[in-house]
Structure formats: structure tokens, C-alpha cells
A and B are shown apart, each in its own frame.
Chain A
């Protein structure tokens, strides 16, 4: 470890702050690199939230050293069940079971001799097996042995003393509640506390991970959604706005919308990195406008990402053809499609996928059709707001020009008060509708264009066999 002189900032490298990787890069990312080595960590959550899977994925990932990794069950889940279920996951490796990864059942000795049996077992394990990592599942169950709070404090002090003296990283798993954090003395000695939670949402559950404490290290705050898959935990780190903006070529550079007449009423096109909200009633032409914008990007040789919750891929191919485009050619030449059924939509995964695409895929244009579907999938509107705001900031930082569509009713621009924040966070707002006097004619009006002059008139928005145009 680097030695610090007075006044020097604390170093934050692997050498100064060694970590234990979880076997899941996204979990490590929110922990600032992983769990701290030689630490006591609590993984808390109600039954079925994924604590055991998180711990076992970590153990199998770290197997292969010449020091064993111990997994001890106590009085909660029977050892046979733990071992039986772990075999269903892709990270399970039978070659290391019994040699590198060792399971033990402490239930009988704890029931017979009380919490001291755990310390005796750990002391013996340290002296005879030199474990690198120890998992106790469930540690919360030890409270159920009828031990008084005073006795428990003494027990925790002795346990923490032993674990801190030796080069071992410990994970205490437990069905703790928020109230337990103040009541249970193990939280005072914990170096890291990670909570796993499950919240019911409509016909399915959403799972979240939250880092509540991490001594000596920064971490990503807030709730991070995850799923349990056959590969273990699939985590979607909460998207935050970029810290620094990469400068794109010029703030005055514009891209064409691909819609004849629209660039002219928008000061020459959309500013690079700007976000445009296309809001309007059903059938007003939102998807046509957005799709034409995307196809214009393909025509210019740009990578495009079309995020779609409305039409399935077959319907979208038909829509491209209806605009005079050749779907196969478009897909071959840079038209990327990210389709998710609104029924299965999880905003965290969608937002992370969009972010990954713009980060790694060189995407220059993005369409999200329609953002309202994200609202209906989100159990927390504030969370959706934060996500979209962060995503839009990343678009701006990377010079990605985007169009979002939003279904709205009649009226000024038809937006419900609850949807008006979409307008605030967008650089440009275009309202699409129907001409009251001529109900078969569509209209378009540019309501807002940040940092640009634009036409304020209501114009006609014609959709023909070759697409849309403004007249």
C-alpha cells in the first residue's frame, strides 16, 4: 500500500484498497470496483431476493486460489437445498466444489452450544484451512437463539476481532429489515452493507440492489435494478448524468430531419446532440416523423438506434417499406432496432441497453418510440424522470441527436400535466395534430427550439406514399 504523507489525498487504486470481485462486473461497478478485501460485509434482504446467489456467484468466481472459500449455513436454509440449487447456475463449477469451495452446516452445533460455536468454528477454520472468503448464511438466524442483546454485542465484538485480525473477507447474509440496522450490533462492525429488495409491480416483481454503506470507498448510490438469470444476477447500474461533456464539433452544427420542409422551419435542421420531442394524437404522424429521421441517418451513412415499444419488428419493416425504404438494406446499413414488448418492459434494462449502444456502437441518431410506454412500465415516475434526464444528457455529451415520441390528447399541445416534464427536458418540441377546420389534414408546429430560431406557424404535415413533408 502506498504510504501517505500529511495532506496527501487518499489513494484509490487496487494496491491501496484491494477488492474482492463479485463475479459480476456490474455489481463491482456500483461498489467502485468490488467488495473491500479483509472486510466484514452484510448482504441483507428478505427471503428470495437473491442473497445466496450473489454470495455463491462471488465464491465460484474467486475459486482457484490455493486458499479455500467457505460457505457455512446456520439455522435458516438447509445446506442440501443451497448446494442443490446452485447447480442450476452457469457459474457453478463442480471441479472446485469440495476443494476450493467448501460448504458446511453449522446448524446443529449452533443449536447445541449457541453463537460461540460459530467463533470456535471460525477460529479452527482459520488455523487449519486459511480461508480466503467466508460466507455465513444466515447470520440473522443467530439472533433467534435467544441470546440477549448484551451477549450478542459481546459475541459480535469477539467475532469482529477475530475476523479483522486475519486476512479473510467475510459475508454475513441475513433476512434483515431496515429496523434491524439500528438494532443488530453486526451493522456497526460491517464495512459494507448491501441490500437486495423485491417490489411487486403489476403482474411481475422488480428487484433492486442498493449499497447502504461502503467504508473507505465511493460507490454508486440509489437503487439498481437486477434480474436473476441462469448466469446469476444481471444488474443494471442506475444511469447518472455524465460528469463531463465531450465537445462535439460545433454547437451550431445541424443534422437534417429527412422530412422535406421541416429543416427549413427549424432553422436548418436539428442541432447535433439535441433532443426533440414529437408529441401528438394517435395517427398524427409521430412514428412517421421519427422513422423518417432515422432513415435519413442511414441514408447519410450514420449508425442509428430505433428503440421501439409499439410495432414489433415485422410491423416496423412494413412501416419502413411504406415510407419508400427497403427494410433489408436499412438494417444492413446501420439501422439498429431495439424492440421490447410493453408487457415485459423494464426501464432499467432498456435504458442501460440504449446507453451501451451509444457508448460502444458509434450511434449518431436515436429514436425512442414512445417514451410514454416507459412511464407505464415505471413504478416510480421520479425514477423514470431521472433516467431519461441522464440519458438525454449522455446524448448531448456524445453528440447523439435524438427524437422521442409521446402520445397526447387534444388541446394546446395535448400533453397531460404529468407528461409536461418531457417537454422541459427536451431541447425541441414539435406538436403534431389535425386541422380543426379540415379534419383530414395533419398539422405540425414547432413549439420550442432551444438555442435556435424557428418558425412558429402551424403548418400542414402531409404523409404520402414517399413519406412525410411540411408544406
Chain B
């Protein structure tokens, strides 16, 4: 399978992955690193919120089924946090909850299992949209 080379600009993008499953975590880490992203992890929603405040990631990728604060509650907390409300949130779950993810304020939803092209393409697209909109805000 053809994999696109990392884009220089994306190389600096920091992604916080909230995931409990070690197999999914290992594969997400591998494929996102391969695509040129920097990846940090949290294993539950509460730790993710804390890490997000410290790390200021560009994207949070979260499963819904994570301990303490679930992925949808985490998404709402991010949207309600003055420091984090602009962080892109991608819900990546075993559950088919796209509408609920959107209601919670997620920017995108992907259903598991992990397909690297779908995941990497979605992350790139979200980053591109985010940077374009940020550029427009700065221009005005």
C-alpha cells in the first residue's frame, strides 16, 4: 500500500491519543509517527484533560469508552475550557455514535477498526482546515 511521505509542516503537529487498548495504541502510534506526527498518550479522560492543558496538542483523538471521563464528556470539557476550546477533537470509537460525537462538539468521527489511510487522511484534513481558518482569523 502506498503511504504518503510526511508533510514538513505537519511534522510539528502534536496529537494526544486517548486510548485504553494497547493494540490500538501501538498501531495508532506507529502509523501517526510514520505520517510525521508527534504522538502522546492518555489512558483515561481525566488524565487526557490534564495532559491536554499541559501539552496544548493540535488534535485530540479519543475513544468514547475510556475510564473516568468518557470520550464524549472529554470532548464537551475541551469545548468548555477556555484554553482548549480550539483544539481539534476526533472521536475514534468502536461505537457507532457519530451524531452524539458531533453533538458533543467533535470535529470528526471515525469508526474502528483502525485503517491507517482513513485515520491519517482525516487527521491531515482536520489540520488543514484548522490552519486555514486560523490563517483567516489572523488576517482579519
Chain A contact residues, CB within 8 Å of chain B: 1-4, 16, 38, 66-68, 126-127, 129-130, 161-162, 164-168
Contacts and interface: CB of A to CB of B under 8 A. Distances in A.
Size bin of chain B's contact surface? 20 to 34
A126 B27 contact: yes
Contacts of A3: 96-100
Contact of A164 (B23, B26, B31, B96): B23
A168 B112 CA distance: 11
Contacts of B113: 38, 164-168
B1 A130 contact: yes
B27 A165 contact: yes
Contacts of A130: 1, 116-117
Contacts of B99: 3
A67 B96 contact: no
A164 B112 CA distance: 9
22 contacts: A1-B96, A3-B98, A4-B96, A16-B96, A67-B1, A126-B27, A127-B30, A127-B31, A130-B1, A161-B21, A164-B23, A164-B113, A165-B21, A165-B23, A165-B26, A165-B27, A165-B113, A166-B27, A166-B113, A166-B115, A167-B115, A167-B118
Contacts, number: 47
A161 B96 contact: no
A16 B118 CA distance: 18
A423 B118 CA distance: 62
B24 interface: yes
Contacts of A162: 23
A165 B93 CA distance: 11
A163 to B, nearest CB: 9
Contacts of A126: 27
Given A3-B97, A130-B117, A165-B26, 13 more contacts: A3-B96, A3-B100, A4-B96, A66-B2, A67-B1, A127-B27, A130-B116, A161-B22, A161-B23, A165-B113, A165-B114, A166-B115, A167-B114
B1 A166 contact: no
B111 interface: yes
A156 to B, nearest CB: 13
A38 B23 CA distance: 15
B104 to A, nearest CB: 13
A1 B111 contact: yes
